[in-house]
């Protein structure tokens, strides 16, 4: 009886998902720590510098999400190929190679877009001075986009192949690199020139390049990963695989851009409300985004776990993997919401001095924004994981439509109405964020619940040829 309980499919799926999601979520949180280092250093340059950098990062973040969306299609493809066990080495290599092609090609296009950052900010009504400072910052930090896109592909590759801990270790390494770079280049330490905001942007670019190098070293020194020869015959095109990746990846990109655009758009709205409101929004959003990295990591793990079973044609295992991931995510976001409600000033103190009189207005506003963030933690987590499980069954087009409807028609419209035309101001903008995330969560969860009715999974389970959980 004890052995039967230990090997229960639900329990095995729970263990496998946690083994995969744990390192990915931790890596995501560490990545946020990398970004937080930038905010911490820039915040000490003053509110003007913080406001300018937040606007620049808002644009870069949306562009980066678009890149990660297209190249992120490699996750369900690799997972399904491993699940089928059909020429997995060759098929996985083809998918990874085409994802790297897209990372390089689209990354260069993204750099070109970012060079128009100042013009974009002026068109949205930002002040000329803030726009000029931010425009220069974005031109420098855009150089990090290509290595960041490449790193995202390599991170997905090692995770799908059962080495998610590599992502954790490498991201931890990048924290040290970024902290050292900011320390040296922002304020002119270690014999380097004091470059201010430009120094922070250069530190981010250096960190991205070091991250790619670390993944290359890890892949070449791991026996299981090395056998895929992921960098072999890099010049050889696989046009069918590239088209397949674009077919899956472009809707994912649209989904991520819609979500990222919602938050970036909120930053621009805050810029219209006021400079202090924008600075408070930046701090509060950093905190909310940090907490979001756990359900986001669970969603990434769910894409891989569901993708394994989708490739194997196991209908029951697909359902089990999806619901287990959603349950794990709900458990965590409940705890993070409580923390935001009970100790908001303690959390904010990690970013700014809450006792300084000069920061009083900023802290008061950030506390209000965190109250709203605590409320939408549940729906934010659900929508992230539901999107992840749907990607596992290679369903990306309708979720993209849901994202646009939820985030923009419901969310952003509410933010504009409440933020610019009512006394709620910044709080109204955050209420709009909550509305958008909640609508998306309900629609995505409904699509997952009725996945059989929509023809997203096999009509019945088929036998699998190997224990998929061994790769978790």
At 86 the pLDDT is: 59
pTM exceeds cut of 0.95: no
Mean pLDDT lowest for which of 79-83, 239-243, 280-284, 467-471? Answer: 467-471
Which residue, 385, 390, 403, 383, is CA-closest to 300? 385
Mean pLDDT lowest for which of 5-14, 165-174, 193-202? Answer: 5-14
Give the model confidence (pLDDT) of 182-224 as tens digits. Answer: 999 988 898 888 888 889 989 999 999 999 999 999 999 999 8
At 462 the pLDDT is: 59
Please report, for residues 189, 259, 284, 369, 436, the alpha-carbon distance to residue 266 in angstroms, rounded to integers and kept in the order given: 35, 11, 12, 12, 12
Give the model confidence (pLDDT) of 368-400 as tens digits. Answer: 999 998 888 889 999 999 999 999 999 999 999
What pLDDT band is residue 48 in, cutting at 50, 70 and 90?
confident
Give the model confidence (pLDDT) of 106-158 as tens digits. Answer: 999 999 988 888 888 888 777 788 888 888 888 898 899 999 999 999 999 99
The CA-based angle 82-309-245, given to 5 degrees, is 60
Q: What is the mean pLDDT of the chain?
A: 87
Using the predicted structure, report yes or no on whether residue 253 has a pLDDT greater than 60. yes
Which residue, 282, 333, 378, is CA-closest to 53? 282
Instruction: List the domain boundaries for the chain.
Output: 2-461
Mean pLDDT, residues 458-471: 53
H helix runs in 222-314, sequence order: 223-226, 239-273, 275-312
At 171 the pLDDT is: 92
Give the model confidence (pLDDT) of 27-37 as tens digits. Answer: 988 887 787 78
Top pLDDT among 86 and 354 is at: 354
Q: List, in order, residues 6 or more apart from 355 with CB less than 8 Å away.
A: none
Q: What percent of the chain has pLDDT over 70?
A: 95
Mean pLDDT, residues 46-58: 78
Which residue, 161, 118, 134, is CA-closest to 54? 134
The length of the chain, given as a count of residues: 472
At 467 the pLDDT is: 43
Q: Are 70 and 249 in contact (CB under 8 A)?
A: yes
Write the DSSP string, 105-142. Answer: HHHHHHHHHHTTHHHHHHHTT--HHHHHHHHHHHHHHG
Mean pLDDT, residues 81-85: 84
Top pLDDT among 201 and 53 is at: 201
What pLDDT band is residue 418 in, cutting at 50, 70 and 90?
very high
- Residue written as tokens 């669970």? 298
- d(CA 111, CA 45) in angstroms, rounded, equals 26
Which residue, 80, 94, 72, 92, is CA-closest to 224? 92
């Amino acid at each position: 009886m004890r052995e039967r309980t230990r090997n229960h499919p639900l329990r095995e799926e729970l263990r496998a998902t946690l083994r995969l999601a744990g390192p990915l979520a931790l890596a995501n949180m560490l990545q946020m720590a990398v970004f937080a280092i930038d905010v911490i250093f820039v915040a000490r340059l003053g509110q003007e510098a913080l406001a300018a950098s937040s606007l620049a990062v808002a644009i870069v973040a949306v562009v980066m999400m678009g890149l990660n969306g297209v190249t992120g299609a490699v996750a369900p493809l690799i997972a399904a190929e491993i699940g089928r066990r059909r020429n997995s080495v060759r098929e996985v290599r083809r998918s990874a190679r085409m994802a790297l092609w897209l990372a390089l090609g689209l990354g260069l296009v993204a750099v070109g877009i970012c060079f128009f950052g100042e013009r974009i900010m002026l068109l949205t009504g930002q002040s000329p001075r803030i726009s000029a400072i931010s425009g220069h910052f974005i031109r420098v930090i855009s150089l990090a986009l290509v290595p960041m896109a490449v790193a995202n592909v390599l991170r997905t590759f090692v995770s799908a192949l059962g080495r998610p801990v590599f992502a954790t270790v490498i991201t931890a390494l990048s924290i040290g690199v970024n902290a050292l770079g900011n320390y040296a280049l922002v304020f002119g330490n270690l014999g380097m020139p004091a470059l201010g905001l430009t120094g922070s942007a250069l530190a981010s670019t250096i960190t991205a390049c070091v991250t790619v190098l670390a993944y290359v070293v890890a892949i070449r020194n791991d026996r299981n990963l090395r056998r895929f020869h992921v960098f072999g015959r890099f010049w050889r095109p696989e046009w069918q695989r590239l088209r397949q990746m674009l077919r899956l990846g472009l809707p994912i990109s649209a989904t991520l851009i819609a979500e990222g655009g919602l938050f970036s758009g909120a930053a621009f709205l805050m810029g219209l409300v006021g400079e202090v409101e924008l600075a408070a929004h930046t701090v509060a959003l950093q905190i909310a985004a940090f907490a979001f990295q756990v359900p986001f990591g669970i969603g990434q793990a769910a894409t891989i776990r569901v993708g394994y079973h989708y490739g194997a044609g196991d209908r029951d295992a697909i359902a089990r993997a999806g619901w287990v991931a959603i349950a794990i995510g709900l458990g965590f976001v409940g705890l993070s919401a409580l923390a935001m409600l009970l100790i908001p000033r303690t959390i904010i103190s990690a970013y700014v001095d809450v006792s300084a009189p000069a920061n009083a207005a900023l802290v008061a506003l950030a506390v209000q924004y965190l109250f709203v963030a605590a409320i939408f933690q549940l729906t934010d987590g659900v929508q992230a994981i539901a999107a992840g499980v749907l990607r596992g069954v290679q369903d990306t087009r309708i979720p993209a439509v849901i994202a646009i409807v939820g985030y923009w028609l419901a969310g952003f419209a509410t933010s504009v109405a409440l933020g610019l035309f009512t006394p709620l101001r910044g709080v109204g903008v955050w209420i709009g964020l909550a509305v958008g995330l909640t609508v998306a969560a309900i629609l995505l969860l409904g699509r997952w619940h009725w996945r059989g009715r929509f023809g997203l999974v096999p009509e019945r389970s088929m036998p699998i040829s190997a224990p998929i959980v061994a790769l978790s």
